[in-house]
Amino acid sequence: MERGCLLSKFENKEILSRVLESIKTKINGFNYNNWFQHASFSFTNETNVEVIVPNKFVRDWISDNYLELLKFEFFKACHNEITLSFKIQAPSQTQVAAEEKQVQKTQPKTKQRKENPAQASLFSPQVQARQALQGLNERYSFKDFVVGSSNQFVSAACQAVAQNPGKNYNPLFIYGGVGLGKTHLLNAIGLEALRKNPHTRLVYVSGEEFTNEVINSIRYDKTYQLRRKYRDNCDLLLIDDVQFIAGKERTMEEFFHTFNALYESRKQIIMTSDSLPKDIQNLAERLRSRFSWGLLADIQKPDFETRCAILQKKSEQENIQLRSEVCNYIAEHVQTNVRDLEGCLVRISAFASLASLPITIQLASEVLKDYLQGFHSNLSIDKIQKAVATYYNLKVPDLKSKRRHRNLALPRQIAMYLCKKHVKASYPNIGQEFGGKDHTTVIHAYQKISKVIDSDDSIQNDISKIESKLSML
């Protein structure tokens, strides 16, 4: 007969303590004390364990971050699928207040994904448990990372390291500006390494979390545990925003020894940073040189085509209907980084759905008005004329001339349209700057281009490209 999980109270206790012991070795002591110390567990039947927590914060946090890990540990201990239910056992008011304060204070800043039960996970239960354990985000996988010329090299390096950790590029140092995908790639390496080998002992941590762990290990006299975690029990160290440790003496010292221990035992180290090692201020010299021992890979701003591909991918993922001309429009205008690109897409789609309107260029430009203001304010008629002339291989005097050949007339009208759109100038003023033309000519140009822009893809494309050049001035 299949022996269930429940045999006797004694065995239940055994199982519970085995599960907690195992969890204790897998998450850092700080987190364990915060989340598990105040929770108790009890079997309600053979396949369900009730998690009794003091408040909803602890419940939500355990449920969001450790559910998979708990299920995995119970599965291991019982050889049976165990479901978990939560019960809040209200302590006194003062206790609740104190605990909530504590929970808010210690909540890690990393973005946590809410589980979507409708969406089946790509990863096996073991890998999911490990991911939950490591705080990896399943959404940040290689599959979801759009590769273009700006990140081709770094993404290939990350793939190589994920396939063969500790072999070729050690350490791998990824650097670049904010919102360009460093954290995404670091996560992707972790996910891929776990997918290949679920037993990989990886540690994924930010420079800030590492610093906090060092501080706590000193304060609570737990440096031994810290060393075990980072030096002895780690095959793959993923450290995000490593520049954070610069200037923090004890943290740099601890990281120096960690680095040496891992490097010598051919364990892979991957770091991300906002700048090159040589440009990180207050970084100890010996770390600076070590950071450059392996491969330095930079991640650059995505080009127009990559921005479009990213927008298309995100809109597919989020079920947003994005016509190609609107996609081009956003990609042309939002050039700072991928995070901004995503933010603008979300803003546009939220606006469209609230107002029950389709996403058009007009709607996008309306929503992005504030965002785009910065670039409009720099422009002058003169700059626009130069940009248009350069784009069409013409000279500025051609635009100002009276010649009406189509090769000149269309660029001239586009230049007038852009002046009206981006510069605070009246129609007569603009006419004046185009060789003394009448204001009705400018009005006609503006109206004509405004009309054709939605129907003529090639004109729309030309205008987007010119605007993109203008935004970089």
Contact residues for ligand ADP, defined by CB under 6 A: 140, 144-146, 151, 178-184, 310, 338-339, 342
SS3 content of the chain, % helix, strand, coil (to 5): 60, 10, 30
Q: How far is the CB of 126 from Mg ion (least distance, A)?
A: 27
* Residue pair 161/174 in contact by the 8 Å Cβ criterion: no
Nearer to Mg ion, 182 or 231 (CB): 182
Helices (H), 206-264: 207-219, 223-227, 249-264
Positive/negative CA dihedral, 74, 79, 81, 82: negative
Q: Which listed option, ligand ADP, Mg ion, none, makes contact with residue 178 (CB within 5 to 8 Å by class)? A: ligand ADP
Nearer to ligand ADP, 183 or 258 (CB): 183
Q: Which listed option, Mg ion, ligand ADP, none, makes contact with residue 181 (CB within 5 to 8 Å by class)? A: ligand ADP
Q: Which listed option, ligand ADP, Mg ion, none, makes contact with residue 62 (CB within 5 to 8 Å by class)? A: none
Greatest Cα pair distance in the chain = 98
Q: Is 34 in the site for Mg ion (CB under 5 A)?
A: no
Between the alpha carbon of residue 401 and those of residues 394, 409, 411, 436, the distances in Å are: 12, 10, 12, 9
Q: How far is the CB of 317 from ligand ADP (least distance, A)?
A: 10
Q: How far is the CB of 324 from ligand ADP (least distance, A)?
A: 18
> Nearest residue by C-beta to Mg ion?
183
Interface pick for Mg ion out of 28, 131, 170, 183 (rule CB under 5 A): 183
> Nearest residue by C-beta to ligand ADP?
181
Distance between CA 194 and CA 66 in Å, rounded? Answer: 17
Q: Which listed option, Mg ion, ligand ADP, none, makes contact with residue 470 (CB within 5 to 8 Å by class)? A: none
Nearer to ligand ADP, 332 or 462 (CB): 332
CB atoms within 10 A of CB 353: 11
Q: Which listed option, Mg ion, ligand ADP, none, makes contact with residue 140 (CB within 5 to 8 Å by class)? A: ligand ADP
Nearer to ligand ADP, 123 or 140 (CB): 140
Q: Dihedral angle at the C-alpha atoms of 433, 438, 442, 443, nearest 10 degrees?
A: 150
Q: How far is the CB of 272 from Mg ion (least distance, A)?
A: 6
Nearer to Mg ion, 302 or 431 (CB): 302
Question: What is the phi-psi region of residue 229: left when phi exceeds 0, alpha when psi lies from -120 to 50, beta otherwise?
Answer: alpha
Q: Which listed option, Mg ion, ligand ADP, none, makes contact with residue 338 (CB within 5 to 8 Å by class)? A: ligand ADP
Distance between CA 226 and CA 213 in Å, rounded? Answer: 8
Distance between CA 310 and CA 25 in Å, rounded? Answer: 39
Q: Which listed option, Mg ion, ligand ADP, none, makes contact with residue 146 (CB within 5 to 8 Å by class)? A: ligand ADP
Q: How far is the CB of 39 from ligand ADP (least distance, A)?
A: 31
Distance between CA 368 and CA 333 in Å, rounded? Answer: 9
Pairing verdict, β 48-53 and 202-206: unpaired
Nearer to ligand ADP, 180 or 364 (CB): 180
Nearer to Mg ion, 239 or 348 (CB): 239
* Residue pair 446/417 in contact by the 8 Å Cβ criterion: yes
Q: Is 151 in the site for Mg ion (CB under 5 A)?
A: no
Helical (H) or strand (E) element with 239: strand 236-240
Nearer to ligand ADP, 158 or 310 (CB): 310
Q: How far is the CB of 144 from Mg ion (least distance, A)?
A: 15
Q: How far is the CB of 309 from ligand ADP (least distance, A)?
A: 8
Interface segment toward Mg ion; rule CB under 5 A; list 111-119, 176-184, 284-292, 404-412: 176-184
Amino acid identity at 64: D
Distance between CA 381 and CA 420 in Å, rounded? Answer: 9
Q: Dump the DSSP string for 169-211.
A: SSSEEEEE-TTSSHHHHHHHHHHHHHHH-TT--EEEEEHHHHH
Q: How far is the CB of 111 from Mg ion (least distance, A)?
A: 10
Query: Phi and psi at residue 379, in whole multiples of 5°?
Result: -90, 155
Q: Which listed option, Mg ion, ligand ADP, none, makes contact with residue 215 (CB within 5 to 8 Å by class)? A: none
Q: Which listed option, ligand ADP, Mg ion, none, makes contact with residue 179 (CB within 5 to 8 Å by class)? A: ligand ADP
Nearer to ligand ADP, 323 or 339 (CB): 339
Amino acid identity at 328: N
Q: What residue ranges bind Mg ion (CB under 5 A)?
A: 182-183
